[in-house]
Amino acid sequence: MALRPQQPLLIRLTHWANVPLLVIIAGSGLTILNSFPDMGPKGAEYFWYPHGKAPPEALMIGGWLAGARHIHFGVAWFLALNGLIYILYQIASGEWRRRVFQIKRDALNALQTALYYVRIRKHPPEQGLYNGLQRFAYTSAIAIAVLEVLSGLVLYKPVQLSLLTSLFGGYDGARAVHLLGLCALALFTLGHLVLVALHPRELFTIFTGGKRE
Amino acid sequence: MKRRQLLTFALLGAAGCNSEKPHDGLLGAMEKWNDGAQRLLFRKQKLAPEEPERLLTRMEDFPIYHVAPDVPVAPKGWRLEVKGLCSKPLSLSVDDLQRLPRTDMRVRHHCVEGWSAVASWHGVRMSEIARACGADPRARFVEFNSFDRPDSPGSDDDDDEKMPKPYASGWDRESVDHPQTLLAYGMNGELLTPDHGAPVRLYSAVKLGYKNVKYLSEVVYQPMRTGGYWEDQGYEWFAGV
């Protein structure tokens, strides 16, 4: 493989495109949730959701249900396209080899890194572009994003895509996965921001591309 | 809070997105795109799965909804008028409908708000009505009108011009002719009650709830697309599921 920057141009572009797209899709999604702030079918709502609890006002985008739905279903296409470009680029360039979590290669390293972060280990394990824990986090985030697209398609067309609907245990199952996936992605983003704050050098890399290796 | 709103406005405003008017600008363009995508995904013969009886939503949990302040009651001598581009316009009573071939289905209801519920529906396929009235294939759209009329904001109740229009919805012909689109006179084994749209309501397994007009008064086969109660306020027109 020829030398290539730590963060190739296409990775940087799709990364930054995600920022406004994810903010808008999440905010409009919460406005949609707000019109029925509950989970599960009518009369058989799931026990674990705080029935009727509205999402935080400050995070909602779109103002009302119809506006939020138009925004959500509009932005969704761009977000999916951005994700598709990102994944296809990784496959075509072989970039996935240094990014995707592979149990044999990364599991022990991920564990050691975690131990280092909680101060049980004195020194971090050796690493290339990413350590095992990073690979695990990034790969999980992509898997969850794919799950968000699939469960979102079920909510968009539960009848026309009935096979997909049944894979999620029905429309309401898909709706629950869609919300829990959002929570997981929000947690990931929070952790991502904290770690960037701890390693500010990486913030430059995702702008400039970093050194070739 | 202020800054966040400003940022949202800047982001969306720059792109021509006005959430108040979702049929216009970039949002309107994306709605057209989604309209196309939905038509592409729509399969005429694709059936919504029959739900098992144990998943039936209890009657008291199935939401009741109308736009009139009180439960709408059918006017005396009510009949359902089927008209427009058809060779034999019909004027049907519930008895007339019950003499036509009956279809029963137990399917999931998908509300635009995000909830779902299951009910059984009993009635006549719209494709059967199209045959009976000799609906013209050039009628690419069908409008469903009701006697469910929202309260007038003014006091001039007699001035028909100023009265708000009753609940209505315009449909694409393909969805109307779908085998799971019914003129329903029964629900969960009983005759339809006024709470759920008596005497006759439209019920389809392939549209969001708000497209399924209750308290029907008219079915009009027509060559042009018309809006509807929620559609005119900014809700999506196709609204397939």
Shortest CB distance from A36 goes to which of B19, B34, B113? B113
State whether B117 and A43 contact (CB < 8 Å): yes
SS (H, E, C) chain B: CHHHHHHHHHHHHHCCCCCCCCCCHHHHHHHHHHHHHHHHHCCCCCCCCCCCHHHCCCHHHCCCCCCCCCCCCCCCCCCEEEEECECCCEEECHHHHHHCCCEEEEEEEECCCCCEEEEEEEEEEHHHHHHHHCECCCCCEEEEEECCCCCCCCCCCCCCCCCCCCCEEEEEHHHHCCCCEEEEEEECCEECCHHHCCCCEEEECCECHHHCCCCEEEEEEECCCCCECCCCCCCCCCCEC
pLDDT at A4: 85
pLDDT at B24: 86
Tell me the average confidence (pLDDT) per consecutive run of 10 residues in chain A, 213 residues long: 84 96 98 97 96 95 96 96 97 94 95 93 90 95 98 98 97 98 97 93 90 83
State whether A67 and B111 contact (CB < 8 Å): no
pLDDT at A136: 96
Which positions ≥6 away from B111 have C-beta within 8 Å?
A36, B63, B117, B208, B209, B210
State whether A158 and B46 contact (CB < 8 Å): no
Q: Which of 63-92 (A) contact B at CB < 8 A?
A: 63-71, 73-74, 77
- ipTM for the complex? 0.91
Mutation pick from A159, A168, A179 vs chain B, by most beta carbons of B within 10 Å, is A159
Shortest CB distance from A160 goes to which of B26, B41, B116? B41
* Chain B residues near residue A38 by CB distance under 8 angstroms: 115
pLDDT at B11: 64
pLDDT at B21: 86
The 10s digit of each residue's pLDDT in A42-92 is: 999 999 999 999 999 999 999 999 999 999 999 999 999 999 999 999 999
* Chain A residues near residue B241 by CB distance under 8 angstroms: 157-160
B31 contacts chain A (CB < 8 A): yes
State whether A158 and B115 contact (CB < 8 Å): no
pLDDT at B193: 97
Q: List residues bridging with B106 in a β-sheet.
A: B120
Q: What is the distance in angstroms between the Cα of A21 and the nearest Cα belonging to chain B?
A: 10
Shortest CB distance from A71 goes to which of B4, B19, B33? B19
State whether A74 and B61 contact (CB < 8 Å): no
Tell me the average confidence (pLDDT) per consecutive run of 10 residues in chain B, 241 residues long: 63 71 88 92 94 97 96 96 98 97 98 98 98 97 97 62 86 98 98 97 98 98 97 96 96
